[in-house]
Structure 1
Amino acid sequence: MPETEPWEYWLYIPNDPRAVTVSRRTLRLILTVHGLIRLADTAELLATELVSNAVRHTKGPAALRVRWSAGVLRIGAWDADPEPPGPPGKLEQLSEAEEGRGLALVRACSDLWGWQPLSRFGNRGKYVWCELAAA
């Protein structure tokens, strides 16, 4: 049974493609210990897309944030690039594309998503997030 008390984790990651796998596995472990394994497959997909974008399109550090509050799981990735993410394409138009599907998948698979400017440890950047309701 999922916990009713809110919790939050931050995982700081280097600008390294291997950080995507580390983030995905860490997220699954967090959801398992908190009784939210039923959200793990979709949450892993969403985190993979968000962290991949943070690592692939920036040169600085990044972070994965996972938060549970009021029956909603929020997954987000912070990166050191203050530029807003490009608008997500339509998923049906991207089915053959090799790249550029990330935010379209996030929009299609989450209940809500967005971004905001966010500075961390003196680094200007942005935070791209999405939410999954437990129900």
Structure 2
Amino acid sequence: MDCIAGMPRKPWDLPFVAEPKEVAGLRRIMRLHLGLWGLHEVIDAAQLCVSELVSNVIHHVGAGTPTTLAVSMNGTHVRIEVRDPDARALPTLFEAATEAESGRGMALVNAVADRWGVQPYADHKVTWCELATGLTSTHGHLGGARIARAEVLLGLYGTATLPQAARLSPLTTAVAEGAVTALIADLLHWVRAHGGDADEALDRAQRRYEAGTSCEGAGPS
């Protein structure tokens, strides 16, 4: 299971009726879910793909078509699928004329996605695309080794200290920030209990943090 800050990246799908008024809501849902997954860098491209794939259904199958949006992780890629009941109206990639009002949909998807395709079945078809996330592994995290280590530690610490009810659902941002604060405080208590200077340890951590942010992309010291 792919996780970030204790939040599972579980596949999800959403049935809807393909109407122009639904597109804005689908874009908001994509932003929300990809934000929770920690994949902020692909939100704009994912929203564009959803808009174009749904518009393709509206224009070539018909407004009011029962449709389903499905989103999942395929390795390090986000996979977006739009399913509709017409297996005959297959989207085609072609270069639309500059003055054309339509026909650019799949060209836009082709431009931002790593790959896309159509899977026809007996009673429906799936038009899909996949976007690179920048993750280095299926279970990886954006932000480098420091962020990955922090998220692993925070996940363990949060699970151990949150109430049982909170363990049953993903950590919200506010709860996660509270866990970070509590973890830092406990580490400072540990330093003091072992004869160290908690204030000096905090100062050193602050200097290391500032050095890391000023040299983004550098390895841990």
Contact 1:117 1:126 in 2 (8 A): yes
Deviation at 1:131, TM superposition (A): 0.5
> In the alignment, which of 87, 93, 97 is matched to residue 88 of structure 1?
93
Q: Whose relative contact order is higher, 1 or 2, with alpha carbons under 8 Å and at least 6 apart?
A: 1
> In the alignment, which of 19, 22, 25 is matched to residue 19 of structure 1?
22
Equivalent-residue separation in structure 2 for 1:15 and 1:50 (angstroms): 10
Structure number with higher strand proportion: 1
Change (3 A) 1:128 1:42: same
Q: Counterpart of 2:3?
A: 3
Off by >6 Å, runs of 4+ in structure 1: none
Equivalent-residue separation in structure 1 for 2:107 and 2:131 (angstroms): 15
Total equivalences in the alignment: 128
Q: Counterpart of 1:127?
A: 126
**Mapping for residues 1-135 of structure 1, pairs under 5 Å:** 3=3, 7-59=10-62, 60-90=65-95, 93-118=96-121, 124-135=123-134
Structure number with higher helix proportion: 2
Contact 1:28 1:44 in 2 (8 A): yes
TM-score, reference length from structure 2: 0.53
Equivalent-residue separation in structure 2 for 1:14 and 1:56 (angstroms): 13
Point out where structure 1 has 5 or more consecutive residues left out of the alignment. Answer: none
Give RMSD over aligned pairs.
Answer: 1.9
Q: Look up the equivalent residue of 1:74 and give its one-letter code.
A: R
Deviation at 1:56, TM superposition (A): 2.9
Contact 2:61 2:89 in 1 (8 A): no
Equivalent-residue separation in structure 2 for 1:89 and 1:52 (angstroms): 16
Contact 1:72 1:132 in 2 (8 A): yes
TM-score, reference length from structure 1: 0.84
Change (3 A) 1:87 1:73: same
